[in-house]
């Protein structure tokens, strides 16, 4: 079929899982050559909507319509299928390349930028620009959304519906703030006018009780109430703008380490056939070190060497006095097993653990769940909570923004901005790296 004629439509789609409503009467039109970014906090239903559009799940209400019925729809899941010993970036690029070769009329991509390096991101952006069909993408990469989409559809966690915005991520942010300010002005005006009328009514009632104006014909109490009720009815009713619960990351080092946190001297590290070194590197207290390079260049291997997880083939590793290193590994493996969150926080009492996890948006229903049942975003938040609990003074973060929604990424940016310990960072999130403001960058 011609890619100039087909469309994919969600018409009044609703979806629930048990008692939890995920989508409520959602409408979305994907016309030919559309470039749509689907955004919203984790749990708002983005992946659910993609699966419905892909035909993998059925809606509880409404319907998905393909015009014509033969419209070819390709789907990339957030969790990639295992691919042997290849890295996360290699798996991601292979899955994307296979999908792009599929000659689909509509591509539905769930977090396609996860694990891609800067070269991979540039390749994907070029591929999507030249793709003749439509694209609907879920992504937390703000720079990627600015470069690839012309329309943003926001899924609201409160109403479970959608709001549409023209342009990319930056346009969406600016317009969303303008709409929020207009809403607050309308709400403030409505509240102020209601208070003015109610105060006027109270004054009038007080005058009547005190017998003021006895020389005039008195109005009956019912007439006064009716008059002011009519005035109040004329005031626009505006709901107070919804302010979602915000994540606040309390990252603070327990104590200062020595001037040098960790040092590698003539160090050689080997992983299979890959060899890194010899290296002479030292990380100083308070340093914000970014480790950059393409996938496969050895960034994670270098982090493993700093952490002492990989034995050195040659050379020495030295950890400075008072240094407490804490890691958020790329695959979040430590949080993917059968242990519950409370069991993972076994070094802390139950009340402390629950309070801390709640600060990272993991509530009473989550703390008894095994790690394997957590979503990727929940594992990331749990990992950060564990680091905060330990009071580490040297953070090692390997792709920390993977699977976080934008609100959580921005809060992590603020948390790191106020963190005066040492940070070693590997990231391919361009906006996050800019906000991190590294004091030094090592190119691999």
Q: Looking at the domain assignment, is residue 244 inside a domain?
A: no
Residues 161 and 184 placed together within one structural domain of the fold: no
Separation between Cα atoms, residue 52 and residue 157, nearest integer Å: 18
Number of other residues whose CB lies within 10 A of the CB of residue 192? 11
Separation between Cα atoms, residue 371 and residue 348, nearest integer Å: 17
Q: Which of 44-53, 152-161, 339-348 has the highest mean pLDDT?
A: 44-53
- Integer-rounded Cα Rg, in Å, for the chain is 28
Residues 331 and 277 placed together within one structural domain of the fold: yes
**pLDDT score, position 2:** 46
286-311 tens-digit pLDDT: 999 999 988 888 898 899 899 988 88
Q: Looking at the domain assignment, is residue 218 inside a domain?
A: yes
Answer whether residue 224 shows pLDDT above 80: no
> Which of 126, 148, 167 is the last residue in one of the domains?
167
Q: Looking at the domain assignment, is residue 351 inside a domain?
A: yes
Q: In degrees, to the nearest 5, what angle opens at C-alpha 14 toward C-alphas 11 and 16?
A: 160
Separation between Cα atoms, residue 151 and residue 132, nearest integer Å: 17
Residues 212 and 345 placed together within one structural domain of the fold: no
Q: Which residues contact 55 (CB under 8 A, 6 or more apart)?
A: 64, 73
Which burial class, exposed, middle or buried, applies to 190 when counting CB atoms under 10 A from its CB (0-12, 13-18, 19+)? middle
For 47, phi and psi rounded to 5 degrees?
-65, -35
Separation between Cα atoms, residue 349 and residue 342, nearest integer Å: 9
Residues 271 and 402 placed together within one structural domain of the fold: yes
Q: Is the dihedral of CA 154, 121, 116, 402 positive or negative?
A: negative
Separation between Cα atoms, residue 168 and residue 148, nearest integer Å: 8
Structurally, how many domains does the chain consist of? 3
Answer whether residue 122 shows pLDDT above 50: yes
Residues 384 and 418 placed together within one structural domain of the fold: yes
- β-partners of residue 274 are 271
| pLDDT band for position 88 (cuts 50, 70, 90) | low
- Boundaries of domain holding 117: 7-167
Q: Looking at the domain assignment, is residue 239 inside a domain?
A: no
**pLDDT score, position 85:** 56
Residues 184 and 146 placed together within one structural domain of the fold: no
343-362 tens-digit pLDDT: 877 777 777 778 778 777 77
Return the structure tokens found at 170.
């930056």
Residues 124 and 23 placed together within one structural domain of the fold: yes
Residues 147 and 180 placed together within one structural domain of the fold: no
Which burial class, exposed, middle or buried, applies to 84 when counting CB atoms under 10 A from its CB (0-12, 13-18, 19+)? exposed
Q: Looking at the domain assignment, is residue 114 inside a domain?
A: yes
Q: Among 29-38, 279-288, 335-344, whose mean pLDDT is lowest? A: 335-344
Q: Looking at the domain assignment, is residue 243 inside a domain?
A: no
Return the structure tokens found at 47.
């992946």
Looking at 149-256, list the stretches that DSSP marks H as alpha helix, in order from N- to C-terminal side: 169-210, 221-234
237-289 tens-digit pLDDT: 778 776 655 555 556 666 788 899 999 999 999 888 889 989 999 999 999 99
> Which of 234, 251, 277 is the last residue in one of the domains?
234
Residues 180 and 163 placed together within one structural domain of the fold: no
Arithmetic mean of pLDDT, 107-120: 90
| pLDDT band for position 54 (cuts 50, 70, 90) | very high
% helix, strand, coil for the chain, step of 5 = 35, 25, 40
Residues 360 and 378 placed together within one structural domain of the fold: yes
Q: Which residue has the higher pLDDT, 336 or 279?
A: 279
| pLDDT band for position 201 (cuts 50, 70, 90) | confident
**pLDDT score, position 420:** 84
Residues 17 and 77 placed together within one structural domain of the fold: yes
Closest CA to 150 of 30, 52, 51: 30
Average pLDDT, the chain: 84
> Which of 167, 186, 207 is the last residue in one of the domains?
167
- β-partners of residue 135 are 35, 107
DSSP labels, 74-139:
EEE-SSPPP-TT--HHHHHHHHHHHHHTT--SEEEEESTTTT--HHHHHHHHHHHHH-SSEEEEE-
Answer whether residue 157 shows pLDDT above 60: yes
Separation between Cα atoms, residue 430 and residue 120, nearest integer Å: 13
Q: Which residues contact 7 (CB under 8 A, 6 or more apart)?
A: 29, 30, 31, 32, 66, 67, 71
Domain with residue 154: its CATH number is: 3.40.50.300
Model confidence pTM above 0.85: no
Separation between Cα atoms, residue 315 and residue 324, nearest integer Å: 22
Residues 158 and 194 placed together within one structural domain of the fold: no
Percent pLDDT > 70 in the chain is 90
Q: Looking at the domain assignment, is residue 136 inside a domain?
A: yes
| pLDDT band for position 166 (cuts 50, 70, 90) | very high
């Amino acid at each position: 079929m011609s890619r100039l004629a087909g469309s994919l439509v969600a018409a009044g789609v609703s979806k629930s899982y048990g008692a939890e409503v995920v989508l409520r009467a959602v409408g979305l039109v994907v016309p030919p050559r559309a470039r749509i970014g689907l955004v919203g906090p984790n749990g708002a239903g983005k992946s659910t909507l993609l699966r419905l559009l892909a035909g993998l799940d059925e809606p509880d209400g409404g319907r998905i319509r393909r015009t014509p019925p033969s419209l070819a729809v390709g789907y990339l899941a957030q969790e990639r299928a295992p691919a042997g010993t290849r890295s996360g970036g290699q798996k991601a690029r292979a899955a994307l390349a296979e999908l792009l070769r599929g000659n689909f009329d509509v591509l539905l991509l769930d977090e396609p930028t996860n694990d891609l390096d800067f070269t991979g991101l540039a390749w994907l952006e070029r591929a999507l620009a030249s793709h003749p069909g439509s694209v609907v993408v879920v992504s937390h990469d703000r720079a990627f959304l600015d470069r690839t989409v012309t329309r943003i559809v926001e899924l609201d966690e409160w109403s479970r519906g959608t709001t549409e915005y023209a342009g990319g991520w930056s346009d969406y942010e600016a317009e969303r703030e303008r709409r929020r300010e207009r809403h607050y002005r309308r709400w403030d005006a409505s509240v102020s006018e209601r208070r003015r009328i109610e105060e006027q009514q109270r004054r009038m009632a007080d005058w009547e009780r005190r017998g003021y104006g006895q020389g005039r014909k008195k109005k009956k109490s019912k007439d006064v109430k009716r008059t002011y009720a009519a005035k109040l009815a004329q005031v626009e009713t505006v709901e107070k703008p919804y302010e979602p619960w915000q994540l606040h990351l309390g990252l603070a080092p327990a104590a200062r380490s020595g001037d040098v946190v960790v040092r590698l001297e003539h160090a050689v590290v080997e992983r299979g056939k890959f060899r890194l070194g010899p290296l002479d590197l030292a990380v100083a207290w308070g340093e914000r070190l970014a480790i950059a390079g393409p996938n496969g260049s050895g960034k994670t291997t270098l982090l493993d060497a700093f952490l002492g997880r990989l034995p050195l083939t040659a050379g020495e590793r030295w950890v400075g006095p008072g240094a407490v290193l804490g890691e958020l590994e790329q695959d979040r493996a430590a949080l993917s097993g059968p242990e519950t969150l409370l069991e993972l926080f076994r070094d802390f009492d139950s009340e402390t653990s629950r309070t801390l996890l709640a600060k990272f948006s993991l509530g009473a229903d989550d703390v008894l769940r095994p790690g394997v049942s957590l979503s990727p975003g929940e594992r990331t938040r749990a990992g950060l909570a564990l680091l905060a609990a330990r009071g580490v003074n040297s953070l090692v973060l390997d792709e920390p923004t993977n699977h976080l929604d934008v609100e959580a990424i921005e809060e992590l940016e603020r948390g790191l901005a106020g963190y005066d310990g040492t940070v070693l960072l590997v990231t391919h999130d361009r906006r996050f790296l800019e906000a991190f403001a590294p004091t030094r960058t090592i190119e691999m």
